[in-house]
Structure 1
C-alpha cells in the first residue's frame, strides 16, 4: 500500500491537474508514481523537466533504460526496476539478456558497458570514481556530453528510486523484484 495518497487526475486542480494531463497526453497513461508525485506539483514539474531534458540528450533510449535499471537494482527500487524493464523491452526494444545484464551494470556492447560501469562507480563512490573507470569510458568512445548525461540520469534515477521507496508507491507495472529483496 502506498505511503502517500495518489492525486486522482479526475479531481486534481491547478498545476497538479495540468501536469497530470500532460503526463496522460504524452504517455497515454498516468503512472502511479506521477500521481503520488503530484502531491507536490513542484516535485512533479522538476521530475518531468529533468526527464524531458535528458530524453532530448545524446544518450539513446536503450542506453537510458539500462542506466535506469542499474540504478534501480543498486537502490533496491522495485517500482523503477519494473517500469524500466517494461519500457526497456517494449519501447526501447532492448533484448532480455541486455536488460538482465544492465541490472549488474553490464552490457555486451563495450560503450554501453563502460557507461553503465561509470554510472555504477559514481553511485557507489558518491561522485568520486577511480580515474581508470572514467578513462575506460573515454577509451570506449564516450564523449563529455555522454559522461555528463550519465550523471544527469543517475540523479534522475536516484530521485525516482528514493521517492518510490519512501512513498511506497503501488507498482502498476509488471513486477520485477530487486535481487536483494527477492
Structure 2
C-alpha cells in the first residue's frame, strides 16, 4: 500500500484537479504515480512540464523510453519498469529491446552508446569522462541530444526516487524480472525482482 496517498481525480480540487484532468485527457487514465504526485501540485506540474518539454526535443520516444528503462533498472524501481515497459511497447519497442534497455545496452550501436552513456551518468552521478562524451558523439549524437539524455536521466531519477519514497501501488503490468538481476530494493514497489 502506498505510503503517500494517491489522490483520486474526482476528489481533487484546484491546481491538482486541473493537472490530473490534463493527464487523463492526454493518457485516457491517471496513473497512480501522478495521483501521488498530486499531493504537491508544484511537484506534479514540474514533472509534467519537464516530461512534456523533453517530448518535443530531438530524442525520439523510443530513445526516451529506453533511457527510462535503463535508469529504472539501475535504480531498481519496479513502478517505473512496469510503466516504461508498457509505454515502450506502445512506442514500438520489442520485448528484446525492452530487456536490453533495462540492461543499458542495445544491438544497435547508436542506441547502445546512448544507453551506456545514460547508465554512466547514473552510476557516476554525472561525472562522466571526456571519452564517455566522445563515445556518444562518435555515433552521431550532438550536444542537444546529450543535454536531453542527461535531462531524461534526471527526470527518471526523480520518478524512481519518488516511487521508492511513496511506495506507489503498481497499476501497470509488472515488468518481467531479469534472469541475471542481483539488484534488490527494500520497498514493496520493488518486489518483482524474483529469482
Output the TM-score relative to the length of structure 2.
0.91
The residue that corresponds to 2:34 in the other structure is 34
Equivalences for 1:124-139 in 2 at 5 Å? Answer: 124-139=123-138
Q: Which runs of 5+ in 1 are unaligned?
A: none
Q: Give per-residue Cα distances to partners, 1:39-72, cap 9 Å, x unaligned.
A: 0000000000000000010000111100000000
Equivalences for 1:1-182 in 2 at 5 Å? Answer: 1-89=1-89, 91-176=90-175, 177=177, 179=181, 180-181=183-184, 182=193
Q: Give per-residue Cα distances to partners, 1:8-39, cap 9 Å, x unaligned.
A: 11011000000000000000000000000000
Matched length: 181
Residue 9 of structure 2: SS of its match in structure 1?
Answer: coil
Partners of 1:99 and 1:143 lie apart in 2 by 24
- How far did 1:108 drift? 1.2
Partners of 2:8 and 2:86 lie apart in 1 by 24
Q: Which runs of 5+ in 2 are unaligned?
A: 185-192
- How far did 1:130 drift? 2.1
Q: Give per-residue Cα distances to partners, 1:91-140, cap 9 Å, x unaligned.
A: 21111111100011101111111111111111111111122221110111
- How far did 1:80 drift? 0.2
- How far did 1:151 drift? 0.4
Query: Runs of 4 or more off by more than 4 Å in structure 1?
Result: none
Q: Which has the higher contact order (CA 8 A, sep 6+)?
A: 1
User: Once superposed, what is the RMSD of the aligned Cα atoms?
Assistant: 1.0
Partners of 2:81 and 2:168 lie apart in 1 by 13
Output the TM-score relative to the length of structure 1.
0.97
Residue 107 of structure 1: SS of its match in structure 2?
Answer: coil
